[in-house]
Each structure stands twice: as structure tokens, then as C-alpha cells.
Amino acid sequence: MNNLGLYFGPKAIDVVITKGKKLFGYAQIPQQAVIPDNGLEEKVPSETRSIEVATLIKDILRREKSDAKEVVVCLSGKDLIVRTFEIPDIPKDEIGSAINFEAKKYIPFKIEDLISDYQLEFDKISRTNTALFIGIKKETFDKYISLVNRLGLKVAGIEYSGFSILRSVSLSSPVTSGVSAVICVDSKGEDEVNFVVLENNFPLFSRDIALGIGEVDVLSQGAESLSETTLLDKLKSEVRVSLDYYRRKFPDKNIQRIFIICSQDIRPQLEGFMGELGLNFNFVDVAKLVGKPIQYSSSLTKGFSASLFRSMPAKIKINLLEVKKQVPKLKGQISTSSLLKGFKLDLRIIILGILICGLSFGYGYYKIIPLKQEFSALQENRAKIAKINLDVPREELNRVNSEYKNKLDDLERLIKKQLNLTEPLGFIQRAIPEGAWLNNFYFKNNELNFSGMVYLEDKKEEFDAVNLFVSNLKSNIKFSNFFNNIEVNSIDRGQFKDKPVTIFNISCKLKGER
């Protein structure tokens, strides 16, 4: 029986059929048919597009004579939230809450709108857990499930493409221990580049790099793709950024080898680049893996790797399908009938309930009496308004009216020209990471300046917390609409109550004259 992998990339859907561990059939559906909406066909309902895509895939399966009964859905980074972070060694019944609390930092919407799962890797030396978190919006998940249902197939799994390609690496050069990295490159800019770092086959870090996606207006006449040289230069720059961030986050976990999946024509440039970085590397020959002389495509590699779901089980055990199945069960566990079952009325309980309600009401009324007395005193002591003299001439009334009107105009100008910082300042306390606090701030000459401290018992984590604080401020639209220049003035170590802390100062300058 055949195996089927569907990769939903930024610009196309790749349909890959394998038999055993070799390529059996392959076809690609162009961007115009991709779901979700890409903005080119806003007038066409998503339901109609889903039917059209399902029809195209059925035609491909029929043409390739596929007898697959199930499919693995492989998704690009634009459809998923993939994060790794550390949590302490805590009781099992508290891990779920800790994961959700940490994940909320990276999710720009309610976590209730997300289908998510996680996997932990325990480090015996540091006594901490490395958590791998993957989530997908419910509406996006339902779109892909609906499409597969139209095909009459069973969904065997839903995977992140950056992790699917690890099967191709294992098929080429099995790695069981140590720290290694994988880069899957698309030199034409039609698919995202995946950069993944693993320790003992467990992901520590992942990043999706969009080289040319979205940079060319496909509706413009005569629009051309970015040159391969430009894309390679951008790739090298992004890889350097990724490596720099990884090394700052994991300074004691050096990458021992990098596996590169790319086309033959750009290997010489990447060989020289890896030599500049001083890294050991291996190239993965995709044509040799698939068993056919086929032109290289990163999206083909991802679909091919996903189709090996059954024959090459991965160490990553995250299963979004099972999480989705458990949702209705959790909602149905507690029902009204189960709560009322066996319940009997007891007169003593009713009397006790009435007594508790009466005491609560009486205590509340007792607490409000002083407030009522103070309100009455204010009413008695307020200024008395003099009565209007009916004999005042019209000219005097016009003069008084003009004076009040001028005062009202002055007040209105003050209100309109005031700088309302209430809302952006209110975000600061939500942006402060755990372990940090402010001890001073002032606003002067169109600049908000505040300083504070961080105490996390670790210098690196404290510095990261300050950077996270600045990043949170910059990512909030309402705050950054007021302040266009947010930067750290100073960050240093100091003492607070005999404890070593990190002391920081941050300035936020207003946009223009306000």
C-alpha cells in the first residue's frame, strides 16, 4: 500500500506518494488553489476553494494510481506556532498550567482559540525541562481536516514541515546523540527555509526564513523573482542571525554538525559560507533518497519526508489530532444531571444558606453607612449658587456669557491638545516579564524614561528578561504608535538587599511633536 504526504506550502500544495521509502508519484498544485485565502481570490468562498483543491488532489491520486488510505498533512511555519522554552521541574499536575502560562507570551490571540500539544525533555544536570510547544488555530485546523475528509482519507498526523525533514536527514546520515542543526534551503524563494537545532534528536530551536515570499508583487506586469544571488546573500545573513541568537540562548551547547538540504547548483557557495563560519557540515542528496533522478525542490522534500510517517517514527511525539479528539470529552465530563444526581434537600442547609446570605447583606450595608454619611456631609457643605438677578441688563448678561464661553473654549483646547498616555502606559505593567520591576520613571521633553531591576538568580536570564521587556513594548501596536524609538539606555549588575540584580534603564521617545 502507498503512503501519502501533503505539504501545504506558502505558494503551492505538494502531493507526494511513496512506496516503502522511495518516491512513487509526485505532483504540485499552484498557489491559486491554496487554502487558506491568499488575498488573490477574496470573492471566492473558502468552501468553494476547498472543493476545487480536493478535486485536483483526487485527480492526481487517480492518475498516479495511489491506493493510500491515510495521509499525513505537513504544514509550513505560517500555519503553526512552534516554540521551545524551559520550565522548572514541577509536579505533573502543574505542568499543563505552566506550559500555557509560558506559551501566552508568544500567542497574539486567546489560547482558547488554539489547539496545542507539548513534549518535555528532562535535563538531569540542570534539573529543568525543555518544553517543545506546537499550536494551530482551530479554524485553520478545521480547514485542513475538512479538505482531507473530502478526499475520503484518514488523517494519520499533522506535522510541522521543519520537523518532517528530519526523517530525510535520518535516512541519509542517522544521528542519535549530540547537538546538530538542519537547514532546508529553497534557492528560488518560493518556499520558506527551515533552520532547526536538535540535541539528541530533540528540537532546541527552530526558525522559518522567508527569503523571497511576499517580496514580489505577483499582480504587477513584468514582475520578476529576486535573483538567486540576492536570495543567497539574504540566506547567509539570516543564518548568521539565527546562529547568533541560538548561541546567546544556549551558550554551552555548541553545534557539532550542520546537515544541509539544497540543490546541487548552490552547494559550492554554501560550502564556502560554512567554511567562513568554521562549522562541520554534510549535504543531503535528495535525489538519492527518493530513488529517482528528479529536480530538487524543498517542498517535495518536505512532502516526501511527511509520507514516511509510518515507516520512520520520529522522536517528536506531539499529536494535535489526539488533542482535538479530547476536547469534546473534556466538555462532556461534567453535566447538570451528574451534579444533581443523589442531591436531597435538607432544611438545615436551607436555613444555614439564608443565614449566610443575610449576614453578608447586613455586613455590606454596615460597611456602606460611613460612605453615605460622608456623602450627605459633602452635599451640605457644597457652595451655594447665588440666585440670578432678573433686573440685570442684557449687556451684562452678554458679557458674563462671553466670559464663560471663553473659559469653556480654553478647557476644550486643553482637552483636545492633552497627551493621553493612559492606555500606552497601562500596557507597561503587562509587558514586564516575571522577576522584573520598575522603581522609577518620568516623562519629560517628549521622552518617557523608566528604570528598574531584574532578579532571577542568573545573569543571562536577567539580561534576556530585559530584552524580552523591550521586545514586548515594541510588539504592542498601541504603545509603539506613541513611541517610535524604544531602546535600552543602560544595563548593568548591582546589588539590592544583598542580592545581585540586573539594573536597567529604558527610554521611549515620542513620534514627532505631541
Average pLDDT over every residue of 114-124: 87
In a domain, 302, yes or no: yes
In a domain, 439, yes or no: yes
Residue 73's DSSP bridge partners are 6, 158
Strands 154-160 and 70-75, by their bridges, are parallel
Exposure of 18 in the CB half-sphere (CA atoms within 13 A): 27
Average pLDDT of the chain, as a whole number: 82
Percent of the chain whose predicted confidence (pLDDT) is above 90: 22
Query: Number of folded domains in the chain?
Result: 2
Percent of the chain whose predicted confidence (pLDDT) is above 70: 85
pLDDT tier at 304 (50, 70, 90 boundaries)? very high
Query: Domain of 251: which CATH number?
Result: 3.30.420.40
In a domain, 45, yes or no: yes
**DSSP 8-state symbol, 112:** G
Average pLDDT over every residue of 317-346: 57
Is residue 222 predicted with pLDDT exceeding 50? no
Average pLDDT over every residue of 32-59: 67
In a domain, 353, yes or no: no
Cell numbers standing for residue 484: 517610535
pLDDT tier at 348 (50, 70, 90 boundaries)? confident
pLDDT tier at 337 (50, 70, 90 boundaries)? very low
Q: Between 316 and 501, whose confidence is greater?
A: 501
The alpha-carbon radius of gyration of the chain (Å, integer) is 31
Dihedral pair phi/psi, residue 493, rounded to 5°? -95, 150
Domain boundary among 305, 326, 347: 326
Average pLDDT over every residue of 485-509: 91
pLDDT at 71: 93
Is residue 135 predicted with pLDDT exceeding 50? yes
List of residues 6+ apart from 308 with CB closer than 8 A = 3, 5, 18, 21, 167, 171
Shared domain for 426 and 320, answered yes or no, is no
Is residue 97 predicted with pLDDT exceeding 50? yes
pLDDT at 7: 92
From 96-100, 132-136, 224-228, the region with the lowest mean pLDDT: 224-228
Shared domain for 316 and 426, answered yes or no, is no
Distance CA 301, CA 167 (A): 10
Domain boundary among 280, 299, 326: 326
CB atoms within 10 A of CB 298: 26
Distance CA 199, CA 103 (A): 21
Query: Domain of 477: which CATH number?
Result: 3.30.980.50
Average pLDDT over every residue of 219-234: 61
In a domain, 462, yes or no: yes
The answer to whether the beta carbons of residues 177 and 194 sit under 8 Å apart is no
Shared domain for 303 and 434, answered yes or no, is no
Q: Which residues constitute the domain of residue 287?
A: 3-79+138-214+230-326
Domain boundary among 289, 305, 326: 326
pLDDT tier at 350 (50, 70, 90 boundaries)? confident
Shared domain for 428 and 319, answered yes or no, is no
Query: What 3-state class would DSSP assign to 415?
Result: helix
Residues in the chain: 514
Shared domain for 172 and 299, answered yes or no, is yes
Average pLDDT over every residue of 435-444: 88
pLDDT at 226: 60
pLDDT at 453: 95
Shared domain for 432 and 322, answered yes or no, is no
Shared domain for 439 and 311, answered yes or no, is no
In a domain, 96, yes or no: no
pLDDT tier at 219 (50, 70, 90 boundaries)? very low
pLDDT at 339: 43
Shared domain for 156 and 304, answered yes or no, is yes
Shortest CA distance to 466 belongs to which of 440, 415, 496, 431?
431
Q: Between 284 and 214, whose confidence is greater?
A: 284
Q: Between 495 and 231, whose confidence is greater?
A: 495
Is residue 328 predicted with pLDDT exceeding 80? no
Shared domain for 321 and 438, answered yes or no, is no
In a domain, 270, yes or no: yes
pLDDT tier at 420 (50, 70, 90 boundaries)? low
Is residue 342 predicted with pLDDT exceeding 80? no
In a domain, 408, yes or no: no
Where does residue 195 fall: left (phi above 0), alpha (psi -120 to 50 degrees), or beta otherwise?
A: beta
Cell numbers standing for residue 494: 548591582
pLDDT at 390: 63
pLDDT at 506: 93
